[in-house]
Amino acid sequence: MSLHTESVVAIYPGSFDPLTNGHLDLIERGRRLVGKLVVSVLNNEAKHPLFNVEERMEMLREAVVGMDNVEIDGFDGLLAEYAARRGASVILRGIRAISDYEYELQMALMNRRLRPDIETMFLLAGEGNSFLSSRLVKEVARLGGNVSGLVPAAVERRLAARFSENKV
């Protein structure tokens, strides 16, 4: 199903630390619903990211090659204000479980209060990705577990390299 509307710009924000196949699934599905999907990496040093913003943006760019209507960007500050600056009318968010919904609902309502002209659109995680989180992937990789099939191959290599650096 394609509801492709050329004039609609959507923002898909996140930390993407690291990018997972669940994120990629949402990017692929979300981009079919809008004219332009801006995948925006949040710069939030309070989360103590494993990869810096530029590294995360590079991983995303590698993963979305060939997705013509997807752009990679970074931001900090209020999402609603960033979305308005980018001319977006939609914020795309993924929902894996009820706990995600509770948090995302609060965020969506606050964003609506700040920018009533910007809608939040929720997409449910694909059933194969409903358990997947960046936090869980990092923990498995840090402990030497197999994360193939959970992240793109390039991300898997970067995780292995990063955790082998930390052991030296």
Query: Which of the residues 47, 61, 135, 157 is marked catalytic?
Result: 47
Query: Which of the residues 23, 93, 138, 158 is marked catalytic?
Result: 23
- What lies within 8 Å, CB to CB, of 121 at 6+ separation is 10, 30, 33, 90, 91, 92, 93
Tokens of 154: 């390039």
167 given a catalytic annotation: no
96 given a catalytic annotation: yes
Q: What is the DSSP letter of 51?
A: S
Query: Which of the residues 15, 40, 134, 138 is marked catalytic?
Result: 134
Query: Which of the residues 86, 96, 112, 142 is marked catalytic?
Result: 96
Tokens of 4: 């492709």
47 given a catalytic annotation: yes
> How far is 13 from 123, CA to CA, in rounded Å?
13
138 given a catalytic annotation: no
Kindly list the catalytic residues: 23, 47, 96, 134
